[in-house]
Structure 1
C-alpha cells in the first residue's frame, strides 16, 4: 500500500524548495534593478485625473 502521508510531505517539501528558489530569483532581480543607474533622459511625470473630484 502506498504511503500517501510520506508522498504528501515529500511534495510539500519540493513545493517549498521551488518557492524559495523563485523568491530568491525575485529578490536578486529587484536588487539588480535598484542598483542600476537610471535611464538617461528618464523622468517621472504626473498625469492629472480630470474625472476625480477635487479634495
Structure 2
C-alpha cells in the first residue's frame, strides 16, 4: 500500500519551496525596480500639447 502521508509531505515540501522561490524572485525584482534610475516624466494634455517636468 502506498505511503500517502509521505507522498503528501513530499508534495507539501515541494510546494512550499516553490512558493518561497517565487517570493524571493518577486522581492529581488522589486529591489531592482526601486534601485533603477528615474526616467523623465512627460505629461500630455487633452489637446496633444506636451509639458516636461
Structure 1 stretches of 4+ with a deviation exceeding 2 A read none
Query: TM-score, normalized by length of structure 2?
Result: 0.74
Query: TM-score, normalized by length of structure 1?
Result: 0.72
Q: Distance in 1 between matches of 2:16 and 2:42?
A: 40
The two structures, once aligned, show a CA RMSD in angstroms of 1.4
How many residues align structurally?
43
Question: Which residue of the partner structure matches residue 22 of structure 1?
Answer: 22
Relative distance call for 1:34 and 1:43 in structure 2 (3 A) is farther
Q: Distance in 1 between matches of 2:27 and 2:35?
A: 12
- Identify, as 1 or 2, the structure richer in strand: 2
Where structure 2 has 5 or more consecutive residues not aligned to the other structure, the ranges are 44-53
Deviation at 1:42, TM superposition (A): 1.7
Q: Distance in 2 between matches of 1:43 and 1:35?
A: 21
Q: Distance in 2 between matches of 1:34 and 1:43?
A: 20
**Structure 1 residue 33 and structure 2 residue 28: aligned?**
no
